Amino acid sequence: MKTSLRLSEAWFRRGLWLLSLVFASFLIGLGGTLVGDLPRVERALGLEDFIDRPAAGALRGARDQAMKAESQAEEALDQAQLRERTAEANIRSAEGSFNDWLATRSVTTRPEQDPALIERTHTLDALRAAQRQAQGEVERQQQLALDARLTAARSRRQLDELEAVAAERLQAAERGQELRVFGYRLALTLPLLAVAGWLFVRHRKGNAWPFVWGFVFFALFTFFVELVPYLPSYGGYVRYGVGIVLTLLIGRWAMAALQRYLARQQAAEASPESARRQALDYDTALARLAKGVCPGCERTVDLKSAAIDFCPHCGIGLFDHCGTCRTRKSAFSRFCHGCGAAAALQPRVLSPQVTESSNISLQMPAQDHKDGPR
């Protein structure tokens, strides 16, 4: 069995659902733009807002000056090392030449070469003095570079300490700012959820139901996408705590709803069949029959069996016979599918108990009449 929706009505409903989704998409876009601009209410914080600026400025200046001095010392050191290598090369060349000259003189032993020996010795001494001077310059530049590195390292270490203190203050301020922004989101989301809940309870079956459902979709999207991901964590305590509270509230509501539903079902099953049938919506009854369940108690029933005319669980009539052509049909159909006669013109469906009592009452007078002549 299919629902009673006409083909055009079904397509109209699909179009209205599409309208609901389009309406929700525009609301989501507007809400996303508004929520995205919420952080702009708070000024962006930085490390410079919490650091000791005079001390940090002095340390940065000392660090930059030390780094500049270190760079200059490194350049001067390279030049001094080059001069040292040049002096070493000159000494090696002069010593080689001097050794060769001494070897020649020791062979010839000519006295007139003594002034030349003295001159060469002086020249070699001058080269050694230049080498020692170059080595001294290298050592001086190395010391300058080392001092500059130590000064820069000390300045960086002190600056790091200041920045660490400022970072702690910045982190605390960002947590407070995060809480405030989350409060803005919460203040925007909770009224939306309240309005969506009120619309869902009061107007979801009204003529404006596409807009109601669109607003409900928008509120749910705002809650789960725009609010929940920004829920503060604090080690998971807040997030898990809120999850536990929401689970308890939703679970309590679900259990209470289940108890109310069961109570309504029990009250409905205890009421007369005519009252239960009138309380059932036509489309709802056909939709439940299409799912293979009883429209009255929503329990599974074998509707394909020709022997079942009444629900074995609640006793409501499921099938009857047309009063015109006697065709077996659904008791909830408004017209007979065999002859087209209106169901309102057909005899009322009697429960099994009423049928049985009627049969007994019809049989008793016949028996009395049969016994009378005797």
Q: What is the pLDDT of residues 229-283, one digit of tens each?
A: 767 666 566 667 777 888 898 889 889 888 888 888 788 777 787 777 777 888 8
Would the pLDDT of 198 be above 80? Answer: yes
Contacts of 307 by beta carbon, 8 Å cutoff, 6+ apart: none
The per-residue pLDDT for 351 is 41
**In which band, very low, low, confident or very high, does the pLDDT at 40 lie, cut at 50, 70 and 90?**
low
What gap in Å lies between CA 149 and CA 363, rounded to an integer?
Answer: 121
Is there a contact between 40 and 156 (Cβ–Cβ < 8 Å)?
Answer: no
288, with CB counted inside 10 A (0-12, 13-18, 19+), is: buried
Instruction: Determine the Cα–Cα distance for residues 223 and 28; give it in Å rounded to an integer.
Output: 11
The Cα 133–Cα 115 span in angstroms is 27
The tokens of 314 are what? 């609640």
**DSSP 8-state assignment for residue 310:** B
- pLDDT category at 109 given cuts 50, 70, 90 is low
- The pLDDT value recorded for residue 353 is 41
- Tell me the average pLDDT across 202-219: 86
E strand or H helix that includes residue 373: none
Q: Are 356 and 350 in contact (CB under 8 A)?
A: no
Question: Would the pLDDT of 212 be above 60?
Answer: yes
Least confident of 77-91, 139-153, 169-183, 196-210: 77-91
What's the CA gap between 155 and 62, in Å, rounded?
6
Quick check: 2 pLDDT over 60?
A: no
Q: What is the pLDDT of residue 235?
A: 58
pLDDT digits (tens, 9 = 90+) for 324-361: 888 888 888 888 888 888 876 444 444 444 344 434 33
pLDDT of residue 24: 86
- Find the range with the poorest average confidence among 64-68, 87-91, 285-289, 337-341: 87-91
Position 32 scores a pLDDT of 79
Q: Which residue has the higher pLDDT, 363 or 322?
A: 322
- Provide CB contacts within 8 A for 341, sequence distance 6+: 322, 323, 324, 325, 335
Contacts of 347 (CB under 8 A, 6+ apart): 323
Between CA 109 and CA 120 the distance in angstroms is 16
> How large a percentage of the chain has pLDDT more than 90?
1
Selection from 314, 342, 337, 317 nearest residue 327 by Cα: 337
Q: How far is CA 173 from the centre of its chain?
A: 24
Q: Give the span between the Cα atoms of 295 and 265, in whole angstroms.
A: 11
> What's the whole-model pTM score?
0.49
CB-based contact 285:332 (threshold 8 Å): yes
Average pLDDT of span 44-70: 78
According to DSSP, the residues that pair with 300 across neighbouring strands are 293
